[in-house]
Structure 1
Amino acid sequence: MTRNVVVVVMDTARYQDVFPEDETVAPTLESLAAEGASFDRAIASAPWTLPSHASLFTGTYPSKHGAHAGHKHLGDDLATLAEAFAGADYETVAVSNNTWISDEFGFARGFERFRKTWQYLQADTDLGRVARTNEGREKLREVTRALFDGNPVVNALNAVYGQFVRKREDSGAHRTNEWIREWLADRDGERPFFCFVNYLEPHLEYRPSRETTERFLPEGTSYDEAMAVPQDAWSYVAGDLDLSGGDFEALRTLYRGEIAYLDDRIAELRDALEAADEWENTVFVVTGDHGENIGDHGLMDHQYALYETLLHVPLVIHGGPFAGGADDRLVSLTDLAPTLLDAVDVDAPAFREQAQGESLLDDDREEREHVFAEYLAPQPSMEALSERVGGLSEDVSRYDRRLRAVRGDDWKLIRGSDGSRECYHLGTDPTETVNRLSTDDEEGADDGLNERSIDATKQAETLDGALDDWLDSFDHADPESEATMSDGAAERLEDLGYLQE
């Protein structure tokens, strides 16, 4: 019998808080990792949702697939993983809790059913913005205009649900699991299935339950006190919000509480597959699309940087050929798609031809020397950030740049379009605190000529060459093309902290 494939993305889950050394946060994932395989050095190709999911769906990096802050859409010139499975006669379904991952941004191709949990009844018209308009006559005008764009009853119901009901319980995980249980019960079972799920819980704002959070709280901090800490990432980045070390410690406990809650929902999803008698015949994947900065590097949220806090993500695969326990190979999330095709013997030659990732099940694959990550345009743009917080200082304006990173086993280089270069020795500096190319750091400089800085210069030159060779090895997407989004989508994204121009 052909195996099913389930891919679960824990949106905004960084490795260090899913599998911390000091405590157990995600026991379900730890169990799945012990029974299956955990790839403990998995690196996302981008630090935020849109480009990272596009890489996961196509097996390519952002420069090739072209979906990023400057072009907010996955074009149809590359095949998607869902299309590859559909071509092999798989039933393909998706449930998304993140507005970026929807038909509007090009992610529904290949799926027979695509469920958007921010709508109570699935519809093309989105009215989540209606309840957030101004009061008085302006609100009345907006309601009147929007209600009659499509089915007015459905539109009104979705508006009320999206604004006042959905967020009371969680960010959609509970309803996601309910829908999947119903779908599993109703399907005919003749075809294998590919099911993609995006869970949003670890994303800002952190609103975990008291039950899943209290065990993580630092001594002397109550749940209510932690929940009272401001979570305005953009005001913090702009220097308009002061947060202490204690504040960030409290926010990290809320973040772990969200992960713990989601771990319970993943256990429910596993139970649903078991109840439907599908678990033993399913390759089950859990990963993160990117990580999070919680005061790390002077940042909040997951923008403007390519540090390991944003790129190092969990990757656990259970079922089928995956039973090897911990795997410390250097892995890119672009490897996941060709790996899954191999795991269930799907040919998909066109997809394999385009993919830049390599199957982790390929016995002839050489050990990977480098992985890459890209941040091709700031999101939000400096204009959008300035509109939100007022004028920007020169210190903040430095984020108006493109970034690329290349890392090997121990060394990592981050290169900016503004001429900036950062080089870190991850073996001794996993938190990337000392830029070995900077003469401002005591450990890395003696007029820039001591032995350590000379070694860093040589390593940076090697990584520079590897990055240049990689960039020259494939055709890049057209950077001049444009993509637009609806007003409703833009407003939903602003709710998640993604400011739009």
Structure 2
Amino acid sequence: MNVLLVTVDSLRADRVTSSVMPATRSFADDAVEFTECIANGPSTPASFPAIHASRHFASIEGLGIPPRDADGDIRTLAEMLSDAGFATAGYTDNHFASGSYHYDRGFETMYDASGTAEAGRLKQFVQSNLDKNGALFRTIETVYNRVDALLAGATDADSEYERAASLNERALEWIDEQSDDWFSWLHYMDAHHPYEAPEAYQQQFLDEPLSLSRCRGLSRKGTHHPEDVTDEEWELIRQLYDAECAYIDDQFDALLDALEERDLLEETVILFTADHGELVGEHGHAGHPPEFWEGIVRVPFVLHHPDRDGDAVDGQIRLLDVAPTIADAVGRPPFEGWQGASALPVADGEIGAREYAFGDVGRQIEYGRCCARRADGWKLLRHADDGEFCFDVTEAPAESPADDRSGDGRPEYDELSQALDDHQERMRRFREDGSVGIDEEDAMVEDHLRDLGYL
């Protein structure tokens, strides 16, 4: 049995609909769809330890995961499958999901577009020489967006990242070379800001497609200066995001068609998920700030297994469960150090939903931003200096200030607070035991954050 893992950067669960992503919606209807999957972090650095190594971000000191020889307590899904005889290959264009942070562990082939593209390195030089935090950048931002678009045009790059269609081609070329069981991971970046879908996809949602410069300008305004975004611009940002989701839908469908043409679809376990969601105007933000609103932490989790019928499973699971679920699906025992567990017993009704899902983000804020979400929808968000918020998201999915119950003396708040305290203490002990990734103060980290538009 082969394994295909497709992770989409910044894809909200509520975009897997017949109006935005019809092919993916059809795929989910015929597969085992977990409708309450919670990301264990609001960003790629915070969520990928959970996806690849079934480890909470806060259980590792620094970013990424340790190198293989440095920590026997951490094992990746790729390592487990490689040791079981699977050929392994990964395809990504995100620094924080690449070999730079040791996510190449277990992959015989690792294609990292973020580290190889000449245009990306040139763009990085341009971005590194502009102070985006100062008044000067606000003054020249329009010029910058035009220069950025001209640079893209000069290098034939119509996207900030390598497109999903290109990653598909690379993966399929590798798959065609395999004679035994294989594991392939693809990480699509198209839904990550800036939203700059090809014109054909923009035309599905906008009256007229926008220029590359305008697309990038809106995305940067929404992520860096959201207080200046007008209602009309927020609507454009939402439409551009949906256009990117529609593009991903077509590319994922094309990948499935290619597997079917090769008579591989019914010989392959396929998991489709996302590392986190995205805000498109909710709570006054675009992108995925270090916060834990539902738009950021609710992600799709759809498992195609040739021996399983379609089913919608409502019980809460977590991205932490990706690796154990895939291992279970191909009949392999889980690694004992994994902090998640297979979601298949939840689907089969053998066990209940995960009582708690925890999320963490640490960079320079001492893990002061975190959350706990209970299976019944009660949720506690700690946003450091921004305060605490407690919601019953089944009753108040918008998580508006009027629905905040953090100061109401509710027993649910006390239970969530204690559970989150306990979780943070467990994570602290893990860090002290010596699981060390990349130092958050490393100059490479700042370069990568800037390259991805966070700084």
Q: TM-score, normalised by structure 2?
A: 0.83
Other-structure match for 1:280: 266
Q: Secondary structure at the match of 1:429?
A: coil
Q: How far is the alpha carbon of 1:489 from its aligned partner?
A: 7.5
Q: How far is the alpha carbon of 1:227 from its aligned partner?
A: 7.2
Matches within 5 A, 1:223-372: 223-224=209-210, 228=214, 231=217, 239=225, 242-348=228-334, 351=335, 353-362=336-345, 364-372=350-358
* The one of 366, 370, 373 aligned to 1:407: 373
Matches within 5 A, 1:22-171: 24-66=19-61, 71-76=62-67, 77=71, 78-118=74-114, 128-130=120-122, 133=125, 164-167=155-158, 171=162
Q: 2: distance between equivalents of 1:128 and 1:116?
A: 12
Contact (CA 8 Å) 1:118, 1:166: kept in 2 or not?
no
Q: 2: distance between equivalents of 1:477 and 1:162?
A: 45
Other-structure match for 1:390: none
Instruction: Give the counterpart letter for 1:53 in structure 2.
Output: F
Q: Is 1:423 matched up with 2:390?
A: yes
Q: Deviations over 1:128-179 (max 9, x none)?
A: 4346647xxx9xxxxxxxxxxxxxxxxxxxxx99982344597321211111
* The one of 198, 206, 210 aligned to 1:209: 198
Q: Secondary structure at the match of 1:79?
A: coil
Other-structure match for 1:147: none
Q: 2: distance between equivalents of 1:169 and 1:472?
A: 39
Contact (CA 8 Å) 1:55, 1:65: kept in 2 or not?
no
Percent identity (aligned): 29
Q: Is 1:460 matched up with 2:413?
A: yes
Instruction: Give the counterpart letter for 2:32 in structure 1.
Output: A
Residues 401 and 90 of structure 1: CA distance in aligned 2, closer, same or farther (over 3 Å): closer
Q: How far is the alpha carbon of 1:278 from its aligned partner?
A: 1.5
Residues 104 and 163 of structure 1: CA distance in aligned 2, closer, same or farther (over 3 Å): farther
Contact (CA 8 Å) 2:2, 2:182: kept in 1 or not?
yes
Contact (CA 8 Å) 2:50, 2:319: kept in 1 or not?
yes
Instruction: Give the counterpart letter for 2:104 in structure 1.
Output: A
* The one of 390, 396, 399 aligned to 1:432: 399
Q: 1: distance between equivalents of 2:55 and 2:103?
A: 14
Contact (CA 8 Å) 1:201, 1:258: kept in 2 or not?
yes
Q: 1: distance between equivalents of 2:288 and 2:226?
A: 18
Q: Secondary structure at the match of 2:35?
A: strand
Q: Give the total of aligned pairs.
A: 421
Instruction: Give the counterpart letter for 1:470 in structure 2.
Output: H
Residues 39 and 61 of structure 1: CA distance in aligned 2, closer, same or farther (over 3 Å): same
Q: How far is the alpha carbon of 1:276 from its aligned partner?
A: 2.5
Q: Deviations over 1:184-232 (max 9, x none)?
A: 2222x1x211111100000111001221222223xxx532389736646
Structure number with larger C-alpha Rg: 1
Q: 1: distance between equivalents of 2:114 and 2:152?
A: 8
Q: Secondary structure at the match of 1:464?
A: helix
Question: Which ranges of structure 2 fall in alignment gaps of 5 or more residues?
Answer: 130-150
Q: Secondary structure at the match of 2:363?
A: coil
Residues 401 and 86 of structure 1: CA distance in aligned 2, closer, same or farther (over 3 Å): closer
Q: 2: distance between equivalents of 1:426 and 1:133?
A: 43
Q: Deviations over 1:311-354 (max 9, x none)?
A: 00111111234424211111111112111111101125xx2x11
Other-structure match for 2:177: 186
Q: 1: distance between equivalents of 2:163 and 2:112?
A: 9
Q: TM-score, normalised by structure 1?
A: 0.76
Instruction: Give the counterpart letter for 1:24 in structure 2.
Output: S
Other-structure match for 2:133: none
Other-structure match for 1:391: none
Contact (CA 8 Å) 2:93, 2:161: kept in 1 or not?
no
Q: Secondary structure at the match of 2:341?
A: coil
Q: How far is the alpha carbon of 1:295 from its aligned partner?
A: 1.9
Instruction: Give the counterpart letter for 1:295 in structure 2.
Output: G
Contact (CA 8 Å) 1:237, 1:298: kept in 2 or not?
no
Residues 488 and 161 of structure 1: CA distance in aligned 2, closer, same or farther (over 3 Å): farther
Q: Secondary structure at the match of 2:110?
A: strand
Q: Secondary structure at the match of 1:38?
A: strand
Contact (CA 8 Å) 1:376, 1:402: kept in 2 or not?
yes
Q: 2: distance between equivalents of 1:225 and 1:131?
A: 18
Contact (CA 8 Å) 1:422, 1:436: kept in 2 or not?
no
Q: 2: distance between equivalents of 1:239 and 1:275?
A: 47
Q: Which has the higher contact order (CA 8 A, sep 6+)?
A: 2
Other-structure match for 2:148: none
Instruction: Give the counterpart letter for 1:99 in structure 2.
Output: H
